[in-house]
Structure 1
Amino acid sequence: MGLSTLLIKLFGGTKNERELKKLWPIVEKINSYFEKFKNLKDEDFIKKTEDFKKRISEGESLDSILPEAYGLVKEVCRRLCGKKWLVCDIETTWDMVPYDVQLLGAIVLHQGKIAEMKTGEGKTLVATMPLYLNALTGKNVHLVTVNDYLARRDREWMGPIYETLGLTVGCIQQGMETEERKREYNCDITYGTNNEFGFDYLRDHMVLRWEDKVQRGHYYAIVDEVDSILIDEARTPLIISGPVEEEEKNIYRELAPVVRNLYNLQTVLVSRIVEEGMKLLKEGKIREAGIKFLQAKRGSPKNTQLLKAERDVEIKKLIEKTELEYIREKKIYELDEELYYVTDEKDHSIRLTEKGRKQVIEYLRDPDFFLLPDLAIETKKIDENPDLTPKEKIFEKEKLYEIYARKSEKLASLEALLKAFDHFKRDVDYIVQDGKVIIVDEFTGRLMPGRRFSDGIHEALEAKENVKVQAETQT
């Protein structure tokens, strides 16, 4: 026996085991109430719920009511055994009564802690007990899950438990109208996805009248697949967008051919660089090959030829080694001179090189395309011009600001188009359906109609795919 094992035994087990040991007396109380409630009539369940609510309103804590409430839920589960109802249009026979370990999980969830349970161990059933207990306060409680199907399934599957106890249950689904959402949120317990709850919260902060809000509070929530929702999906921000006052749709159409040409040139160039790298590799010139592969990666990380080459683990390691060497020696930008633009995967940025700028200028035949007026210098010139009246000076300044804004908008649109062509892949990041660009959720693979990428990306994708460019949005 190791020292650590001996110490754990001496001190009564691990911290987790000690915490669980404290909860077993509560489980025993729950089972005691469960036995008592076997004598209740069916109509008494709603009366018990009303009694719990009254006790809470008079100051009794949820913790003190917990054993009775959980015992009541367990008895309802027993009474429902053998009964059938539709779950996602499939007839299902109820056959579940909570085990002691599930009661433990339910206690832990009420305490605001994480309960780790494997698939098939009854997470959905476990959640019913703390949801019922907290809904007794009269405040809205939520069950947050990862997709619409699970939200609907769990609501329809567990719904009869709550309804037998006299509570109402709602479910938020994508595409619901405002009045439908209000109705579902007005239920005692509401099931839905993190995206739907999140966007409804954002929209509620944009309404002009209090009565237009759909949610009625955020008292208690259980998050299913908490690691996925709070860690993985947390990387994707929830963004609400709306139309801007001035539409600049034509800029994207004007610049799309320029960027398409630039993208095609870069694709051919990067593919050639990858071929050169493979040739050098065969010749045994490892270092030179690494430089070529790194150059290709900076030019287009999603290039088909490069991705094919990177399937070889040794080539992938060679690229990483070469990149570290160039970063350490501060020579990384030496690789960019031959490229038209440089892509940084880490910060999702894209930058035109001098070669790329020259190509744009040549294509547009506009040598001043990248030149922005210096506002400080130009406004000073206007102020110091003795030939202008005060009114004319104001007019000239407004004209200067308009030129600056228009040129800045063009440069921002050019960058958005570059990202649209290089960073976003059709049928992976988005699809084109009925003349519209529709986002594909990167986690679920579900289509998200009505959602739009921000910062001009969506408009750039529309121009790229030659569909109607909708009004640009602000977030």
Structure 2
Amino acid sequence: MTSAYKMNSGTLLRSRLLSLLKNGQWERDDVVKLFIVLMNQCNDREEDFNTWIMKILYKVEIHKIKASDLTDPKSDQFVDHVDEKINDIIENNEGKTLDEIVKEICEQKNIDKVMPEVKDIVSSVSKSLSYSTSTHLQGIEKMLFTLCNAVEKTMKITPRLTQMVSWCLLVLSKSSHLVQVGTGEGKSCIVAMFAAYQALEGKTPDVISSSPILAERDAKEWSDFYKELKITVDVNTNKSKDKDLKKCYECQVVYGTTESFAGDYLRQRFHRFDVRPKREFHCVIVDEVDSLMLDKGLEVVYLNTEVPLMEQLNGILAEIWHTVSQLKHLESGEILGPIQQFSQILIKSFSESDKIDHLSLVQLAVKAGILPTTPSVQKQENLKNMLEQLDNTSVNQMRAFLTMFAKNFPQFVFKLYLQGPYGKYKNRMRSVRHVQIRDKKYRFFSRIWTMSFCVL
């Protein structure tokens, strides 16, 4: 167990060191020098080396700290206390201007098209917050101003520029977006503001946290903020009764964990419990998205059942579902069985009847234009090849073959159908009678150039 832990820690540490090279701000020699300096500084610390150095490297990466920021200009070497220098840089970063924040983001991501709009929105709102007026604001600007005011009134803090920029990136993105936020930059505030925006737009956002403790903490901590905006909020991790869960999912914003959301959805769909009957999946906000990317084996959901050894029935249930899903609906309201190839239907018919002459079938295929008309071919053509030809014939050829087949073998009569644009089938050949074969009804279906058949 210990060796496995060390091996995993070493892999993560190498990955973190290599990630410094990928952002283009660090050279290989500088990464090696940083690692050596941190190793020397860690000798007198009680904290585990891997844990401590991973925290330091994470701060360097997330706050875009360069090697030059840690270098002593006099000696051209790293400063003596690199960890303290990193913490000082992070504290000073809180005073970054909007231009500096936008520039850093543009250096990391190819989102130049949206950044001018983000810059204009945040600039206008930050100025309006200073003067406590929003008469000239419209659209997203006015929405951001309203949310910032609610945060300031209820949480006694003013959203920082980095939080407003992150909020704008989420709002302006046309699809799913991943935002990397540094430790201490107010991720919970960004999540709450974006969830509130979705709720005010008439949607029902689900906020997924990495643990029940964090979900309950954030829902409680930001309850006054949501109340100020007249938005209802609840958490689904501390409820066991159906009526409590139903009341929870009637709220506009719901906090919870992966297993809680998945379990409640399964209870609604499979157990038919009245848990979240009317709540739609409009928006999901994942807090700590890396917790979903790591297979920790903690998000496994099992539904309780009163039937002993229910899992033994899974194979049978899967086979039943596979069969049922192949049923086809006719415009007349009939439901027909699984689709089969025509050759399979005929082979089954041969085994049930001794009145069908194989050579006669070959001759019918020749008359229908399915097989060549050469007499030698009629004699040499075996039944298997003939059946393969039938499976790849045209609709007109199949219609001719079935018509002659029905005349020569009156006990076998088939009905031909055409698939419509919405998956429904309608009668294609009304002139052919419909009879039964030993209490089994055979229906033959045609698509544009291929033939499909089913038996009921």
User: One fold, TM greater than 0.5?
Assistant: no
Q: Which has the higher contact order (CA 8 A, sep 6+)?
A: 1
- Please classify the TM superposition score into its range, dividing by the shorter chain length: 0.3 to 0.5
- TM-score scaled by structure 1? 0.38
Name whichever structure is richer in helix by fraction: 1
Over alpha carbons, which structure has the higher Rg? 2
